[in-house]
Structure 1
Amino acid sequence: MPAAQVPKISLDVAVELFISPISLSNLKGSRFFKDPSELGLKYEENILGTIDGINLSSWYIPSRSDKAIVLCHEHGGDKSHMLKYAKFLNDYGFNIMMFDFRAHGSSSGEYFTHGYWECDDISAVVDNLVSRGIYNIGVLGVSSGAAISVLSSSDKRIRALVVDSIYPSIEFMLRKWIDVEGFEVEDDYIDNILYRASVLTGADFSSLDPIDSIKKTDIPIMFAHGSRDRLVPIDEAVKIYAKANDPKEFLEVRGLHNHYLLNGINLQYESAVSRFFYENLR
């Protein structure tokens, strides 16, 4: 029998996938709700402007509270992917702000830079909450949304973080993608992806790794990770947790893989995350 062919991918295609709204992990699916109304939630739809001229599509779900949670979706997703999070957090009494990162969903923008420019997106969202008189602000991010939330924690208006399914570094995720797809690549393939992406976007990708940026975070942070995560094993999240400053917590959600919204958020997760935000948004 002829030997099985090893799949290959051109460098140009890999770079395009890396900085486009197409997820490298093919996480986007059809099991998501369309908008908050499908979950019985009243909401406002707004366009928020960033300091560098990007228009962000956002949904604001109000509550009778002085606390708000910003929800940050993953690479290749959009704000609708966070609706299950929005539902349980709003049920617990939090105002919710959810949005499409630049180059995703209904937002403008050409490239996604895994946090380099997206911190401006979170800043614009926080600006809007402050304009509403809301100052007790927490952020919950999933995967790359978690990594970006860590980078944004230098914004002193953000008082607490929950990072869900966080990865240690951009290089780790690129190598994982290559391994999962079974691509045959040269030794310097990832370095070349990052270099070309940097030239196209103006982003310094060497400064965005959560395993390093977590050391600068000085606000309360909860790490949430599935015990059976096959994309980013839980041991990797534990390593990041070890480098984080106090106060910090680690929530191991047993039996779940990555991205809890894809598997159905459970009561353990809901109660722990809600309790964490209540205790730290004061």
Structure 2
Amino acid sequence: MKATVQPPKKRSRLRKWLKRILMTIIIIILLFVFGVIPYGLSYLMTQSAFNLDRGDSETPAIYGANYKDIEFSSIDGNRLSGWFLENNGKGVTIILCHGLNRSRVEMLRRATDLWCAGYSVVIFDFRRHGKSEGEHRTLGYLERFDVRGAVKHVREALRPQDKIVLMGVSMGAAASLMAAAETLDVAAVISDSTFLSFEETVTHHAKEFLKLPKFPVVYEFLLITEWRIGLDYEDFDLEKAVEKIGDRPVLFIAGGADRRMPPRIAERLYQVCKSPKKDLLIVPGARHGHAYHTAPEIYLNKVLDFIAKI
């Protein structure tokens, strides 16, 4: 029995269809890699309404602290909500700044500890977190305007005569450092688990947790985020912020087991800092943002000792 030979025209037509299918697949993959993944990640980071503290009804009263509800504006016009725990003894007000996808509740135990030690304390929700307004979350870039709004509110309405100390965790630490670099109303900063720069932390997280390459995904993410919300990622640099803070005291804190913001970051910023009153605390075994919970007595003693020397 003779084999049937396919006519040349049919073979040619089949090859054309296979080429078209292959090109379509390649285009879809390229669009996915260069567009869908970075745009989706950018959207999730900036637009998410996820909140780990959602439904948590704790207030300072649970820990025996007197407080009042406050509202104020960021310097770019977002209405922000918070609590004020007032003390008249030490002439220092500490503004506490929470991390991404959290709320003021993350800082509540620290706030009441500091209040019990004699300090006035402000804790508030960043834009698009908790009870505050806001369109975007930006890991600290725009949140620095929230911190500056809190500083302005303390200076003008709450405790005009007090020294102001900023204390933040993760995103809150980044926002605090950037805010302090832009206003001399801040006397000192306590930076817990910050990153080096926006580009560095995006690259690190993409590689460490998502197994994504810097090219093209991270570069596309940075460009898309810059285009979407006006975030200048080259200016979002905490080393530059620490340099601008000058000789004002900064305490850098990190968790020894932090995979997201490893201790080398705090050590690097400590080296960059020009202040003769700078300090560094690495808490062994602490994961990201958990230095306080891992060793509360060591953490609090270091913070109180640092503030007392300002």
The TM-score range, normalised by the shorter chain, is 0.7 to 0.9
Q: Matched residues in 2 for 1:245 and 1:216: separation?
A: 9
- Rounded Cα–Cα distance in structure 1 between residues aligned with 2:110 and 2:94: 10
Distance 1:175 1:28 in 2: 24
Supply the distance in 2 between the matched residues of 1:204 and 1:182 (Cα, whole angstroms). Answer: 23
Contact 1:82 1:261 in 2 (8 A): no
For residue 260 of structure 2, the aligned residue among 207, 217, 231 is: 231
Q: Does 1:173 align with 2:198?
A: no
Q: Provide the C-alpha distance between the structure 1 equivalents of 2:261 and 2:173, rounded to a whole number of angstroms.
A: 13
Q: Distance in 2 between matches of 1:184 and 1:156?
A: 40
Q: Is the 8 A contact 2:292 2:300 kept in 1?
A: no
What do the CA deviations read for 1:135-171 (whole angstroms, capped 9, x no partner)? 3110001111111111111311100111001111212
Q: Output aligned runs, 1:1-282, within 5 Å.
A: 10-21=37-48, 28=52, 34-65=58-89, 66-130=91-155, 131-132=157-158, 133-153=160-180, 154-184=182-212, 187-218=215-246, 219-247=248-276, 248-260=278-290, 263-280=293-310
The Cα shift of 1:127 comes to: 1.6
Name the SS for the 2:121 alignment partner. strand
Unmatched 5+ residue regions in structure 1?
1-7
Higher relative contact order (CA 8 A, sep 6+): 1
- Taking only the aligned residue pairs, the percentage that are identical comes to 25
Higher helix share: 2
- Equivalents in 1 of 2:142, 2:253: separation in Å? 25
Match of 1:4 in 2: none
After TM superposition, the structure 1 stretch with the greater mean CA deviation from structure 2, 99-108 or 9-18, is 9-18
**Bigger mean CA offset, 152-161 vs 181-190:** 181-190
Q: Using the alignment, how far apart are the partners of 1:211 and 1:251 within structure 2?
A: 18
Shift of residue 37 of structure 1?
Answer: 2.0
Letter of the 1:113 counterpart: T
Contact 1:72 1:145 in 2 (8 A): yes
Instruction: Sort the Cα spacing of 1:31 and 1:270 in 2 relative to 1 into closer, same or farther, 3 A.
Output: farther
Which amino acid counterpart does residue 169 of structure 2 have in structure 1? V
Measured in 2, the distance between the counterparts of 1:111 and 1:14 equals 13
Cα shift at 1:56: 0.3
The structure with the larger Rg is 2
Pick which of 150-159 and 259-268 moved more: 259-268
Do the aligned partners of 1:58 and 1:100 also contact (CA within 8 Å) in 2? yes
Where in structure 2 are there 5+ consecutive unaligned residues?
1-32
Q: Measure how far apart 1:183 and its partner are.
A: 4.3
Q: Is the 8 A contact 2:94 2:121 kept in 1?
A: yes
2:69 alignment partner, SS class: strand
Is contact 1:162–1:222 with CA below 8 Å preserved after alignment? Answer: yes
CA 82–271 in structure 1, closer or farther in 2 if over 3 Å, else same: same
Write out the 4+ residue segments of structure 1 that deviate beyond 4 Å after TM superposition.
29-33, 183-186
Find the counterpart in structure 2 of residue 3 from structure 1: none
Instruction: State the 1:185 CA deviation.
Output: 5.1
Equivalent pairs, count? 270
- Superimposed CA distance per residue, residues 20-60 of structure 1 (whole angstroms, 9 cap, x where no aligned partner): 3567xxx9368966222222222111221233221001111
Q: How many angstroms does 1:82 deviate by?
A: 0.7
What does residue 18 of structure 2 align with? none
The answer on whether the counterparts of 1:21 and 1:75 sit within 8 Å (CA) in structure 2 is: no
Greater shift, 235-244 or 254-263, is seen at: 254-263
Distance 1:43 1:29, change over 3 A: closer
**Could you report, residue by residue, the CA deviation over 1:89-135 in whole angstroms, capped at 9, with x for unpaired residues?**
11111101011111111111111223332222112111221122343
Q: Identify if the C-alpha distance between structure 1 residues 246 and 37 changes in structure 2 by more than 3 Å, giving closer, same or farther.
A: same
Distance 1:32 1:180, change over 3 A: farther
Q: Distance in 1 between matches of 2:189 and 2:301?
A: 15
The TM-score normalised by the length of structure 2 is: 0.80
* Displacement after TM superposition at 1:187 (Å): 1.2
Aligned residues of 2:199 and 2:234 also touching (Cα < 8 A): no
